[in-house]
Amino acid sequence: MTIQFSTKVLPDSDFKGPKAAAAICGLSGDCLILGYRQSELSQLQALDDLLGGAIAQARNLGDLDGKAGACTLLRSNHAWALSRVRLKRILLVGLGDKESLTDFAKIARSALKQVSGGAIESVLWHTASFLGKQKANQSPVALRERVHLLAQIVGDQVYRFGVRQDQFKTKPVEKADSLKEFTFITSTKQASLMKSAVREGAALVEGMNLTKDLGNLPPNVCTPTFLAHTAQNLSKKSSLKVQVFGEKQIEALGMGSFLAVAKGSETPPQFIIMRHDGGRANEEPIVIVGKGITFDTGGISLKPGEAMDEMKYDMCGAASVFGAMHAVSILNLKKNVIGVVPTCENMPSGRATRPGDIVKSMSGQTIEVLNTDAEGRLILCDALTYVERFKPKAVIDVATLTGACIIALGHVHSGLFSDDEALVKDLTKAGHQSLDTVWRLPLDAAYQEQLKSNFADMANIGGRPAGSVTAACFLSRFAEKFRWAHLDIAGTAWKSGVAKGATGRPVPLLLSFLLDQ
């Protein structure tokens, strides 16, 4: 389901005076969400007068304690009608004392949970009431961050898998969220900024939804060919220019490392390039590369059977590139961005690459394959060599690369590897802005020693110690001709258990990074 985001401008978007309160009550919608602090309840007097004392009554009953995320729902009654109040409900949300972006996210989730799953279809969000105490000093950047984050939270709440509700179930078991319209109330002064921020937030949600859908699709549907068709369909609806190389073209390019992974499967590999030429003709592009293993059995180095179904998520790096490029095209971003996706299955068969085989990469470097389950780096290394031709401003590869990264960072931060300090700073900042956070891990030359091979230029694994680091070190050997960063999203791209499903990360991080460049 797609949520509709919009803005509504009030000459005075505050709620303190009678005129402002009357303007708010004159809005039509299923629910207005209004933030308050315990110390500022007296400022709601004009609004309370129009509501027939409903706020004072809630306060006397002890329902308004101002704690962060505490919600009190006021419903329309006879007194409201006499006051010509068009709103059906007002949700008062306590803001507490803290003002960080993380605190704001918790408060927003708490508020939106109250309007979820019922009859509420249209929500109005009173933006000014959720700003910090120093409202006059609220920077445009901070406001934009909160709008993006709120759109993301709303998108997460209403998301249901698939283009059609329960498209793989004969009997739907979960009711779709009722919320269809989300309107940001803003002032005349901030109208232009809000309109732009809401547009970006809406594009972010569209991109994340695509990423989630692709990740959640079963692997018998979401094949490399399906991803290629998805890219081609995107190009029909947007500014994206798409090229797809099949197996023969991949072979002609000399991508022996990529093909070594693909050859165990009956499903042919695809190499997908999506271009958004929004900048100047001679402008160096930013390139994002996504690992697209649509199902990973481990190959001959077969994985344990438990939870192997989740290996359909091994293409979440590719899915996030699709999502980011989709958002970029919706916004018609005024810069050049290229998304590159090498995609195949990693299957065991009589044709599959064996542990001990030596393969030749597109760069000419040879690789001893000690473990066929370390396949993501084998397809990414050829993609990294390929993107040299774009003379990129920067390259970011995104991959569910190592279980070792989950051991190191759990499911909170994505792993960030780079020797480029400016790139690290920009990506870390984008992570903080979007709450799609990263944690920098080392890339010291000393770890390269673990990749030594007696028989080839390098081995594809460096043993158990520092597994995520040696994987990044392997990729760094193919990224020496441009500024480069690697994101290991193995712990953040999807959730297991009851909440099983793709998260849409790191699309918020990537879009925030691209918007800031």
CA separation for the pair 166, 355 (Å, rounded): 41
Which one from 303, 393, 440, 481 is the annotated catalytic residue?
A: 303
Query: From the CB of residue 350, how many other CB atoms can be counted at a distance below 10 Å?
Result: 5
Contacts with 237 (C-beta within 8 Å, 6 or more apart), sequence order? none
Could you confirm whether 377 is annotated as catalytic?
yes
CA separation for the pair 398, 211 (Å, rounded): 13
Distance of CA 8 to the CA centre of its chain: 26
CA separation for the pair 298, 308 (Å, rounded): 10
In the Cβ-directed half-sphere of 425, how many Cα atoms lie within 13 Å? Answer: 4
CA separation for the pair 333, 364 (Å, rounded): 36
Which one from 335, 377, 477, 505 is the annotated catalytic residue?
A: 377
Distance of CA 158 to the CA centre of its chain: 15
Beta pairing partners, 94: 36
Beta pairing partners, 36: 94
Length of the chain measured in residues: 517
CA separation for the pair 467, 404 (Å, rounded): 5
CA gyration radius, the chain: 25
Report, as residue numbers or ranges, the catalytic residues: 303, 377
